[in-house]
Structures are given as C-alpha cells and as structure tokens.
Amino acid sequence: MIESLQEFPTELQLSSRFQLSAFTKGGARTLRGGANSKQRLVKNMKAVAEAILEPALDLFPNLQILAGYRQREDIEDSSRRNLHYTGQAIDIRLDGFNRQETFDAAKTLIEKLPYGFDTIALNYNGKKSCWIHISFRLNGNRESFATFRDHIKLGDNLQYIAETGSVSESSGSSRLGVARA
C-alpha cells in the first residue's frame, strides 16, 4: 500500500497501535523528499512500529514516544548519519519510571525484542532525565548498545547513573553493564 501513495496522512496506520502521527509529532514534522524518498521513510517507520514499538508496548504499557522522524535542523549538532532522519529510530520514555527502572527496561528490551534491533542507547541528561533510543533497519541490524550522558558516549555497554549523578561501574561480566551496588 505504501508504494501506491504519493502523500502520507498523519492518520496512516503503520501497525495495529501506531499511526504516522506518532513519528511526526502529529504531522508537525513533515516528510521531505520526492515520493520515493517519502515512501522509503514511511516503510522504515512502519518497520520500527512493527518490530520495536509493538513488542515494547506489550512489555511496557507506559511507553511514550519522545521523538521519531526528524530533520537535521531539528537538533543542533546532530550527526549526519542519525537514523531519525531516515525514519529508522525512535526515542522513548517509560512514564513514571525512575533511572533504575529505565536501566532495567533497557536490559529487558535487549533481551526480549523478538526481531532484534540495530542500536539501543540509554541516555541520561541532567540530574533526572532518562530515555531510550532504539533503531531498527530493514537491511540488517548490529544489535549494539551504549550509554550516553549529556550527549557524550560513555561506552558500548549499558551503565546505570543514579539521580545523584554518580556512575556505577559495570561488572565486566556482560556488555549489559550489570551495575555494582
């Protein structure tokens, strides 16, 4: 069906519980490019909705989408290779979860997403903010993960950073970074 469309309404159903509007801030972020480019964007978003968001919502009914598709100028100093530009990435928050619960949820997603993922990044910003970036690519996924603090990469593992701001060292036994007490 996507192939036959030239324009993509925000109410376009990408999966059973997600519409295009979930990825475009209700249509505020308009799709760019010719019809083929728009079709590729929507196909990518459909894949993320089906492979990532649907199973993640089953695990965490408190899932909230922070960002999906965006354009380079939406975020200052954003990487040119950012998968949000191609509709292949989503940032989520788990409503009501503290940093420990979000850290644990990121580990659960790594272990339980049935179709895999390209990257999962646990992001900490300031003293309280915490969210999870997840990408999925139709042409192959790396299944890599990382931790970022204030947009600076801390490592290719998941690390827990308490609300106090202290970083727990990973145990070394796993890239999942099981934190020491």
pLDDT at 163 over 90: no
* pTM for this predicted structure: 0.87
Domains for the chain: give ranges and CATH numbers: 2-155 (3.30.1380.10)
Alpha helix (H) ranges present in the chain? 35-48, 54-59, 99-112
Structure confidence at residue 32 (pLDDT)? 82
Q: Kindly state the DSSP code that residue 167 receives in the 8-state scheme.
A: B
CB atoms within 10 A of CB 142: 11
What's the pLDDT band for 127 if we cut at 50, 70, 90? confident
DSSP codes joined into one string, 80-115: TT-TTTTT-EEEEEETT--HHHHHHHHHHHHHH-TT
Which structure tokens are listed for 89? 């990435």
Which structure tokens are listed for 171? 């145990």
**Portion of the chain with pLDDT greater than 90, in percent:** 66
Q: Mean of the pLDDT values across residues 99-103? A: 96
pLDDT at 75 over 70: no
